[in-house]
With several copies, the nearest count.
Chain A
Amino acid sequence: MHGGNSVSRTASKVVSMRNAVAQHVRDGDVLVIEGFTHLICFAAAHEIIRQKRRNLTLCRLTPDVIYDQMIAAGCATKLVFSWAGNPGAGSLHAFRRAVEAKPPTLAIEEYSHFGMVARFSAGAARLPFWPLRDYQGTDLPVANPQIRSITCPYTGAAIATVPALNPDVTIVHAQRADADGNTQIWGLLGVQKEAAFASKRVIVVVEELVDSSVIRADPNRTIIPGMIVDAVVVEPWGAHPSYAQGCYDRDNPFYTAWEAISRDAERLQSYLDEWVYGVADRAEYVRRQPQLVERLTARRAMSGEVSYGY
């Protein structure tokens, strides 16, 4: 009963980053570009900055350098998050300037990591809330009245709740997908599956477009099914300066350098002028830094194979 990729409804999901952003990311959207340290799609953020999207509500556990750039570029009016630092390097200064301004120029809605994960889990399951045993003794429920509680119908215990997060659009970077958007990720998985299932629209950005037969050879690696994907963008090195396991390493020197760049608002704008506005797309970004490929390309560390036969 076999017979090719009969699941594809259409071949037209594969589009350029420019078209994917133009079509699916709109002013005022609740936007998620997820990936916990791993697979953070800077290529999508830069295209959103170039297309001058405005009034976005940006959601991520760790806003990271990617949202610091988008905040500096004026894309965001609100940030929903749980940890806003530059891992291993210092602060996100565009974020800090916006929040420390009198009055603040960026609204925030703040959880812990578990709270954010729970919000995406609820969104993915289309439940209005998610229960978690958390937040006792902290000031977070005071700072954020969306953190509430519920009484367990079995034990009578109070259990914290967070509301579902259902973004307008979620962008996920991955190692590979087929043309229909059946997407495989290995290494750190973060909350990408939950964010994608929670979202109204999903853009998948991949290092490599593969034939469906590659996906079908190892179906347990598929994290996001094509049926929930609206666009597939093929963008090698699209996660730099973050990393893609098996493809390229994290650019730690860049993260360290961001501390000084972002501390100075003018220098940050110069960075955006040169590396975001100043390039047409990710291909040009990579072409203009030939040393990246040499410096960061991953060595191989193979997984071994298993058999799916019967």
Chain B
Amino acid sequence: MDTREDEKTGRREDEMLGGREERAYSGSELMACVAARELRDGEVVFVGIGLPNLACNLARRTHAPGLVLIYESGAIGAQPERLPVSIGDPSLVTGSLMVCSMADVFQCFLQNGRIEVGFLGGAQVDRFGNINTTAIGDYASPKVRLPGAGGATEIAIHAKRTLIIAKLDRRAFREQVDFISSPGHRARGRSRADLRIPGAGPTRVITDKAILAANAETGELELAALYPGVTVDEVRAGIGWELSVRESLEVVAAPSAEELRALREDVKVE
């Protein structure tokens, strides 16, 4: 986890949404709330910077006080007093429960199967949840060179489930990604079971307009829930494949007053 999603989602002004003035919220605030609700109390979460960090700290402040935050930098049980800018921020260390080497993070925690939830983001996501964080265009002669996999490959493989955070955009949500940095539910035609990948993969894709979820049989991402006031056509406009829509479509609740208060006062989102 790193700042990939931050680069993609967090760096432009959010328009304010919501009905009444006192409950107005930004798109990022809604995404943070939606992601936080996916986390259960006591779970062990591999945290990234940006929206995942907001979501984890929001969940700790609301329904999941026993969430264990682990950063790939080696901080275990972090309680940052400020919003960390990087996953190696010193505030993740001060007052944490444990600091270990990165060899231990990847071997004893991640590969060991101790991580219950991982967050992923990326420049390109395909219909099976495969992610490209490596390069746009040809790998050897890229049009745009992206940062690369970082820890996302092994998070995608070993976390018991992952949450993908990405804003809808036809250039991002594509039939096929140019490069598979992190495997989804089917990679180059092979299922996770076939590839002997232990984790369940991306159970939810949290976008700025809707939640996508994988079809249990095919592994294809489908529209599972809409944000308040969003139409199916608006979602389809941001997706580069023929999106399936579930029959019983959930509607996501707007952020509650308590969620917004916690997000703005405790988590200190600016």
A and B: interacting chains: yes
A1 touches B266 (CB 8 A): yes
Q: Of B72, B149, B187, which contacts A137 at CB under 8 A?
A: B187
Comparing B12-20, B29-37, B105-113, B242-250, the segment that makes contact with chain A is B105-113
A-B contact count (CB 8 A): 276
Q: In this assembly, does A295 line the interface, its C-beta being within 8 Å of a C-beta of chain B?
A: no
A140 touches B149 (CB 8 A): yes
A191 touches B148 (CB 8 A): no
Chain A nearest CB from B141 CB (Å) reads 6
Which residues of chain B are near A151, meaning CB under 8 Å? none
Interface bracket on A: 35 or more
Q: How far is the CA of A292 from the CA of B197 in the complex (A)?
A: 47
A7 touches B102 (CB 8 A): no
With known contacts A6-B66, A87-B2, A136-B183, A126–B113 Cβ distance under 8 A: yes
A139 touches B139 (CB 8 A): yes
A136 touches B147 (CB 8 A): no
Q: In this assembly, does B153 line the interface, its C-beta being within 8 Å of a C-beta of chain A?
A: yes
With known contacts A1-B79, A2-B79, A227–B68 Cβ distance under 8 A: yes
Closest chain A residue to B147 by CB distance? Answer: A85
B73 touches A37 (CB 8 A): yes
With known contacts A103-B141, A189-B74, A37–B88 Cβ distance under 8 A: yes
Closest chain A residue to B184 by CB distance? Answer: A137
Q: In this assembly, does B95 line the interface, its C-beta being within 8 Å of a C-beta of chain A?
A: yes
Q: Of A85, A157, A217, A250, which contacts B4 at CB under 8 A?
A: A85
Q: How far is the CA of A125 from the CA of B104 in the complex (A)?
A: 8
Interface bracket on B: 35 or more
Which residues of chain A are near B183, meaning CB under 8 Å? 136-138
B49 touches A87 (CB 8 A): yes
Closest chain B residue to A157 by CB distance? Answer: B196
Q: In this assembly, does A47 line the interface, its C-beta being within 8 Å of a C-beta of chain B?
A: no
Q: How far is the CA of A255 from the CA of B85 in the complex (A)?
A: 10
Interface positions of B (Cβ within 8 A of A): 2-4, 6-7, 41-42, 44, 49, 57, 60-61, 65-68, 72-77, 79-82, 85-91, 93-104, 106-108, 110-114, 130, 134, 139-145, 147-154, 157-158, 179-183, 187-188, 190, 192, 195-198, 266-268
Q: Can you list 13 residue pairs at the A/B interface with Cβ under 8 Å? A: A9-B41, A85-B148, A90-B7, A96-B144, A100-B142, A113-B154, A125-B112, A127-B111, A143-B139, A186-B99, A219-B75, A225-B76, A250-B89
